[in-house]
Amino acid sequence: MERLKFTQRNEVIDILRASTMLLMIFVNDFWTVDGVPKWMQHANTNEDFLGLADVVLPLFLFVMGMSIPYAIESRSEKGYSESSTILHILTRTFALLIMGVFTVNTEYGFTNSFGISRDIFRVLMVLSFLMIWNIYPKTKKPIRYLYVTFQIIGVISLIFLAFIFRDSNGGIMQTRWWGILGLIGWTYFVCSFIYLLVRDNAFKILLFFLGFIVLCLIKSSNLIPRESFVNSLLNIFNLGTGANVSFTMGGTLFSVLIVKYSHFNFNKKLLFVLSTVTIFLLAAIISNNFWIISKNRGTLPWVLYCIAIAIGSYSLISYIVSKGKASWFRIIKTAGTATLTCYLMPYILYSVIYGFMNISLPEWMKEGIPGLIKCAFFAFLCIGITALMERYKIKIKV
């Protein structure tokens, strides 16, 4: 059976990824201001509510799922072997887990060690990530040895930082939880291997997606005891409630379907999108009669609502792009092509602004609408600096 063609880059996926990263930095900056509207914030663990901030990670995971077929099929078209692709998946997963562990540990307080403060630690941490995982130009010239030297220095630096780290209670660096990057890493690992197993077979992908949805339903109902063997098995790959893998597998399925039926006319595509969004919304409303909407608990209604929002968001951006308005998103383009660098940028800027420079903003800029404008400016600042770095070939890509 002939494979679907994923060789041409999907511009809409990049734009949705960029929009999601902009939103992620924006909501993550809320800690610096007061008076943020309730609908923008994360809901409390046991609160039946869906805030704007609760939609960000699901959107990112959905977009990642949409990208998986393009990444794997593109490697296949270029002649990479399956074993090479497996190694690529393992390498990316390992990098995300390492970065996740480091970033999480810095959030548990910090005891100055070797004269290094937490601000200095975070800057050195991100610089080490850059030295190790920067996209260095492929060349046979002697300068390639300099690139290897940078990577070796980055590895040694990370080992040193891990060795000297002590939290506020004197604890050493450890896997407290995997952090956002680590969760993304585990989810990418599971869903990439599933796609590598079934490739562009939409029916088989659908079965895996439904399996994760059922897992989410079971976990939402607390039918699996916390200390059971089954739960321990699920925790090996950090599947949790099945929510994260549901988002990503849903994105993978959606990506395969839009390529498979790309020949449909506009009316058929619109009917497909509206029908799919309606199905997920109805399923979310029905399930919400049994379980609350909770990001922290990874409940089924949260998953279903967010998938509906993700599909609707992609389709809206796709329509805008089809009308020749892709330039509307040019200002945030870098957040979709240098996403990981963009995500890490706040760790440096917070250290510089609030640490080294010790800047204190006027009170009127710390609350209400002025505070939200400040958060938006900060998000665009992160993207702008990332764009400048990308221009000089400084970009993390794992």
Other beta carbons less than 10 A from residue 330's beta carbon: 10
For residue 50, what is the DSSP state? -
Q: Are 396 and 338 in contact (CB under 8 A)?
A: yes
Q: Where are the chain's structural domains?
A: 11-79+203-391
227: phi then psi, degrees, rounded to nearest 5? -95, 10
- pLDDT tens, position by position, 278-324: 999 999 999 999 999 999 999 999 999 999 999 999 999 999 999 99
- Half-sphere CA count of 170, side-chain side, radius 13 A: 0
CA distances from 268 to 253, 261, 275 (A): 18, 9, 10
Q: Are 307 and 280 in contact (CB under 8 A)?
A: yes
Structure tokens at 8: 């041409």
Q: What is the pLDDT of residue 286?
A: 97
Rounded CA-CA distance 314/14 in Å is 10
For residue 113, what is the DSSP state? B
- Collapse the DSSP code of 303 into the 3-class scheme (helix H, G, I; strand E, B; otherwise coil) and give the result: helix
Structure tokens at 367: 């609350």
Rounded CA-CA distance 306/277 in Å is 10
Q: What is the pLDDT of residue 6?
A: 79
Q: What is the pLDDT of residue 56?
A: 97
Rounded CA-CA distance 139/263 in Å is 40
Q: Are 164 and 138 in contact (CB under 8 A)?
A: no
34: phi then psi, degrees, rounded to nearest 5? -115, 165
Q: Whole-prediction pTM value?
A: 0.94
Q: Is the dihedral of CA 46, 51, 54, 55 positive or negative?
A: positive
367: phi then psi, degrees, rounded to nearest 5? -150, 160
SS3 content of the chain, % helix, strand, coil (to 5): 70, 0, 30
For residue 47, what is the DSSP state? -
- Collapse the DSSP code of 34 into the 3-class scheme (helix H, G, I; strand E, B; otherwise coil) and give the result: strand
Q: Are 12 and 314 in contact (CB under 8 A)?
A: yes
- pLDDT tens, position by position, 39-90: 999 999 999 999 999 999 999 999 999 999 999 999 998 899 999 999 999 9
In our burial notation (b when 16+ CB lie closer than 10 A, e otherwise), range 32-47 reads: bbeebeeeeebbeeee
Q: What is the pLDDT of residue 235?
A: 72
Rounded CA-CA distance 46/294 in Å is 7
Please list the ranges in the chain whose pLDDT falls under 70: 1-3, 7, 227, 229-230, 233-234, 236-237
